[in-house]
Each structure stands twice: as structure tokens, then as C-alpha cells.
Structure 1
Amino acid sequence: MSTDINEIGSQKVKSVITGESTELRSFWQDQNVVIIFFRRWGCLLCRLWARELAEIAPVLQNNNIKLVGVGVEEVGSKEFVDKKFFDGDLYYVENLSTYQKLGFKKFNVVSIISSLFWKQSRDAIFKGQGMGLGGDLKGDWGQTGGALLVGKGGNLLHHFVQHGPGDHLPNLEILKHFGLENEYKPETMANQSRQDVQCTTEAS
């Protein structure tokens, strides 16, 4: 899908910590940014993605690339912060239209349940459970998310859309978009990335 970075930039989010409202464009006004749009704060798979990003958070920080996490609602965000799942700044959208404009679809009851049986989802669930990340049933179950990688001034580098709840943008791919692939050294990083398993079935 075509992404209008100016339209997306005008969308507002609120800080989980302060409640302060800000436009998304403020994140890329003066620096490069990685924005992860999580499905749900209590989602084990979202917590796993957040923890996996901890591998490259120091690389991003050392190269002046801001790391931002965004959710669809405030519900569950406090626990996400308190348990330190994410090494970046956390926000939630003021309006769900932000996710809609980014092409992040909603599952129905049948598709969300069936998607959890995809090999990709099962592998991620197994890893998340092994790490003791936990989870809860609070919030919007059906929403999908994704990511935006944006260069300073609003240069859209990559727009990633989830097709399933276990579908994450690999750390190496994130670094490649900023020319930092040589900085990816999984053998010395905190967590071992799960194998990225592509699934060709799209959930509705």
C-alpha cells in the first residue's frame, strides 16, 4: 500500500509516562527513528518482539536512531513499562485511525484463533513462554500492528505490516535500512533472535 508520510506524521500519540500528546512527525523531525506499532500491551508475542529489539537498542542509540513503541490503547501499558519489556519511549494512539491509515488490519474471532496455530506463531509463543514473558487478556485482541522506519526529515525507509500476531520485522532487516548491518552481531547480543518463519497466509 502507498504510505503518505505527511498524513501519518500528523497523527497524534500520548506518552505512556507523562500523558503528553505529540504528533508522530516530531519523532523524525531531527533524527532517524524506528517506530514499532504493537498489537496489545498484554500480548505475549508483542512482549517478545519488544525484548528481541533489546538486542539492537544499543546500536540504534549509538547511531542517534530513536526507538519508539506505540500501542492502540492505554490499557496494560503500565505493566509493559514496569516490567521493562521495551528499551525505548512508549506511547499510545489518540485515535485508532492511525493504525487504519497504516494498513494494520483487524482479525475476526476465527482468524485470530487460527493464526495462533501458524508455525510462526507457535515458535514465537514457545520462545516467549520460555523467557517467562507472561501475558494477559486485557485490551483489543484483534488488532494487528507493524513498524515504520523513517529517516531524518521524513524520508520513509520502510513500512512493515504484520500478517499474523507472530510476524515481526527482524532486527537485521531494521539495521540494513540504516546501513548498519555490519553492527549486527547476534553472538554477542543479549538475546538470540528466533528464526524468522515466513507465512504466506494472510489473516483477515
Structure 2
Amino acid sequence: MAEVVSPITRQVSKEKCKAGTPNLDINLKDVEDCLIYDRRGESFPFKNLYQDSKSVIIFVRNFLCYSCKEYVDDLSKVPRGALEEAGIRLVVIGQSAHQHIEPFCSLTGYSYEMYVDPKRSIYQKLGMKRDETFTDSALTSPHVKSGLFMGQIKSIWRAMTSPAFDFQGDLHQQGGAMIVGPGSRVHFCHFDMNRLDHMPITWLLQLAGVQQTLDFSDEPKIIHV
């Protein structure tokens, strides 16, 4: 009889779970009734995202963050057919006002679900970091192409040219990624330690059960595995 494998419910580093990585006690009941908002400003409970399906939910820092923008650039390249075949919802959550969702989707070409948690209730209750920590286990995101200096210049320029000049979220708040559902089951979670500590998209999708992956090193191409 095959061994039953328990779902992953702990922080996992990108160096195959280095010693010292803390365990996380994730209880979705703490956040299931927190309100999130769509691009029209309509609200609904967070639990609606995962009650009836498995969902990959990615929390970003703020919509002006250059590393988040470039990460979502690559999320936009994920084939819709690959998600549909695996029965996966792909969701991005930010922490700005809802008015910034539409411009950010247009900027990145992201066509999947995107919502905001303007009070950062979910970020805080789940224990996502505020402020940055740089360690050996927090590797540089393969999806961020800009260096620190040019990235910050791009962020400042977008802030200056935005119709609503604001920071579009708490600049110190870090994000993360989760695979959850159906129901309150947590399969995987990763909380970013800094702006570059994103979960590689290919690994995240494979953990969720997607049978295709993308190579972001050059031109996107489908690799069947």
C-alpha cells in the first residue's frame, strides 16, 4: 500500500529546506473571513478563492515595486490551458487601493485574477514579514531582471507618472505564495524574506500539480514533463 504523504505546511527555502528554516503554523480559519476587493471595489471573503478549488495565491509587496512588477510580468506568460487542465486558479493579491488593480494588470499583461487587501489584514494574520532580511537561503528571484538601482528608478518614475500619486501599498511589507484548497487545506506556503525572495514560478506550479512548465531564461516555451 502506498505511503500517504501529508501536505506541506511549512516554510520551504529554495535550497531544499536548509536547516534552521522555521516551521509555520498556517490556519486559514484565521483569515477566511477577511475581505478582499476586486478592481471594481466590490468585496468578498478571502475563503471564496479556495473553497471549491485548488488555488495558487501570490501576495505581492506593492504595485510600484519593480521586483513584483517583473515577477507578475512572468506570471502573465503562464498558459491558461495548463492551469485549466490542472484545475488550478492563479490569483495575485496586492495591498493597495482597488483603483490600482486595472493599471497594474495593463502594465504587466496579467489576465488572471487579481485582488487587494488594503488593510493588510491577511498579510498580518498569516505572519508575513515586514521589513527585509537577506540570508543565504533567500536567493535572488530568477524573474527579476532589473538591478537594484535601475529597478528603484523605474519604481519612482511609475509613482511620479501615476494618476494617483501614492506608494500603492506599504513599502516595507513583504509578500509570499501559497497553494491552498479545496477547503481549508494548505498544501504549501512560502513567505518572502525580501523583495527578491520569490518562489520560482515553474516550481510553484509543479507543486500545485500543473503538468507543464515555462522556461523564463530566454523566450517562453512550453516544456512537457
Shift in Å at residue 77 of structure 1?
3.2
Q: How far 1:61 sits from its partner (Å)?
A: 3.2
- Partners in 2 of 1:98 and 1:169 — Cα distance? 19
Alignment match, 1:86: 110
The aligned residue for residue 130 of structure 2 is: 106
Cα deviations across residues 58-105 of structure 1 (Å, max 9, x unaligned)? 222332211111111216434202324423111111422311112212
Alignment partner of 1:147 is 2:167: no
- Aligned mates of 2:43, 2:30 — CA distance in 1: 17
8 A contact 1:47–1:85 mirrored in 2: no
TM-score, normalised relative to structure 1: 0.75
Report percent identity of matched pairs.
23
AA paired with 1:12? L
Other-structure match for 1:124 = 144
Equivalences for 1:1-204 in 2 at 5 Å? Answer: 1-15=24-38, 17-58=39-80, 59-74=82-97, 76-107=100-131, 120=140, 124-126=144-146, 134-136=154-156, 137=159, 138-139=167-168, 140-180=170-210, 182-186=211-215, 191=220
C-alpha distance after superposition, 1:34-73 (max 9, x if no partner): 1111100011100111112233342223322111111112
Contact in 2 for aligned 1:54/1:190 (Cα 8 Å): no
In the superposition, the TM-score normalised over structure 2's length comes to: 0.68
Preserved CA contact (<8 Å) 2:60 2:176: yes
Look at both structures and tell me which one has the larger radius of gyration over its CA atoms.
2
Listed as ranges, the gaps of 5+ residues in structure 2 are 1-23, 160-166
SS in 2 for 1:126: coil
Measure, in 2, the Cα distance between the counterparts of 1:76 and 1:128: 23
Aligned equivalents of 2:143 and 2:93: distance in 1? 24
Greater percentage in helix: 1
Q: Give the aligned CA root-mean-square deviation in angstroms.
A: 3.4
AA at the equivalent of 2:92: G
The aligned residue for residue 197 of structure 1 is none
C-alpha contact 2:70 2:143 (8 A) present in aligned 1: no
Number of corresponding residues = 183
Aligned to 2:14: none
Distance change >3 Å, CA 170–CA 121, structure 1 → 2: closer
Q: What displacement does 1:188 show?
A: 11
